[in-house]
Structure 1
Amino acid sequence: MASAKEQKRLQKELQDIQAAFAENPDCPVTANMIDDNLTRWKGHIKGPEGSPYEGGKYVIDIQIPTDYPYNPPKMKFDTKIWHPNISSQTGAICLDILKNEWSPALTIRTALLSLQALLSSPEADDPQDAEVANMFKRDRKLFEQTAKYWTETFAKKDESNHDESVKKLVEMGFTEDQAKTALQKHGWDETEALNSLLGGA
């Protein structure tokens, strides 16, 4: 369990990130806590303009270690993405500030902003996904087309469908909060959300 001092810092970080978003809904990143657990967050990143990810909304799973901020948060993409530094299978991220370049002076918001910057400027020479990196180097046009297709398919879920999905789960007897949390956690996949609610995962 994080110490009182670390908990206080996390609460402040969460307030700051949400206040910035409340002031400016065009803010590129935001985050929220999952199940009132201060060490489990979901981050949200808007795909940067001018990149193949433009218009996409990406959900990031954030696990905060008990010795935070002395160690970096563990982050991975819940939303599928085609990018040299992010695994197209698992969502694992290759980014130096989430590893050896982390400093206690950084915040989760800084890390999310760095991820957004990574979407604009992939580092194909230090890949997480070799297949994507090879395509990026060999055939940039095909890479851009594929990345755009993945953005359209996985990162541009229609918001109006979200309300429908919540409604369906509420009709099955779950609360609106339970439904929303499960859907967000599983990238708005109704089947996976329902399975997790039934299985209590």
Structure 2
Amino acid sequence: MVDFARVQKELQECSRDVERSGIKVSPKSDSSLARLIGTIPGPIGTPYEGGTFQIDIALPDAYPFEPPKMKFTTKVWHPNISSQSGAICLDILKDQWSPALTLKTALLSVQALLSAPQPDDPQDAVVAQQYLKDYQTFVGTARYWTESFAKKSSLGIEEKVQKLVEMGFPEAQARTTLEAVGGDENLALEKLCSG
């Protein structure tokens, strides 16, 4: 059974330090602490700088004795993160996990992974090949994905509604969906496309 008292304590620790670290963890719903959403800022000096990346966190019943299951919900171009599923290849999320680690330390490790890719142990072989063979193209692609998927658009709500209408969505539906996702046009588009 998940140690919910510990999870509460970890959430409080993250919220106390959010201004300095930029790392946030919050429950996905009010009804359960077993599903969480983590947010990490892209590390400075990397192609991910300026982006805000969301990570889905599922706590197994044996947490903290088993690692949390984490995957990116924000699309990322990185050798150790699947560009398709968001799966993360990181030892502490597998066999190097210790109950002494916390959700915050796990997210800090994921953030560090963004700074220091390990292309010899890839999660995404295509990205790893590009990283090794054509580093400048890799950096350009990673920056483009960060701009496209991890940055809040500076467009106003009316421009976003107009963009979605131009894509063929009804104006009222586009407006309602944008409001429901806090103005994030990528999330709105995902929601509109999934029905």
Does residue 32 of the first structure (1) align with residue 23 of the second (2)?
no
**Closer/same/farther in 2, CA of residues 161 and 34 from structure 1, 3 Å limit:** farther
1:53-92 correspondence runs (5 A): 53-92=48-87
> Comparing 52-61 with 29-38, which one deviates more in the overlay?
29-38
Q: In the alignment, which of 99, 107, 120 is matched to residue 102 of structure 2?
A: 107
Query: What's the secondary structure of 2:44's corresponding residue?
Result: coil
Cα distance in 2 for partners of 1:123, 1:162 equals 39
Displacement of 1:190 in angstroms is: 1.4
Displacement of 1:192 in angstroms is: 3.6
For the 8 Å contact 1:28–1:113, the answer to whether it is kept is: no
Does residue 9 of the first structure (1) align with residue 12 of the second (2)?
no
Post-superposition CA distance 1:109-153 (Å, at most 9, x none): 000000000000000000000000000000111111111111111
Amino acid in the other structure paired with 2:4: Q
Cα distance in 2 for partners of 1:153, 1:192 equals 13
**Closer/same/farther in 2, CA of residues 159 and 12 from structure 1, 3 Å limit:** farther
Query: What's the secondary structure of 1:91's corresponding residue?
Result: coil
Cα distance in 1 for partners of 2:40, 2:113 equals 11
Post-superposition CA distance 1:162-199 (Å, at most 9, x none): 8978xx77x75x9x8xx349x88xx8521443677x8x
Provide the residue aligned with 1:189 in structure 2.
187
For the 8 Å contact 2:52–2:150, the answer to whether it is kept is: yes
Amino acid in the other structure paired with 1:12: K
TM-score norm. by structure 1 comes to: 0.80
Amino acid in the other structure paired with 2:132: K
Cα distance in 2 for partners of 1:17, 1:114 equals 14
Post-superposition CA distance 1:15-34 (Å, at most 9, x none): 1111111xx2x423111111
1:94-173 correspondence runs (5 A): 94-158=89-153, 172=176
**Closer/same/farther in 2, CA of residues 188 and 149 from structure 1, 3 Å limit:** closer
Cα distance in 1 for partners of 2:148, 2:189 equals 17
Cα distance in 1 for partners of 2:81, 2:139 equals 15
**Closer/same/farther in 2, CA of residues 136 and 74 from structure 1, 3 Å limit:** same
Q: Which runs of 5+ in 1 are unaligned?
A: none
Task: List structure 1 runs of 4+ shifted beyond 3 angstroms.
Answer: 159-165, 191-196
| Percentage of identical aligned residues | 51
CA-atom RMSD, angstroms? 2.7
Number of matched residues? 182
TM-score norm. by structure 2 comes to: 0.83
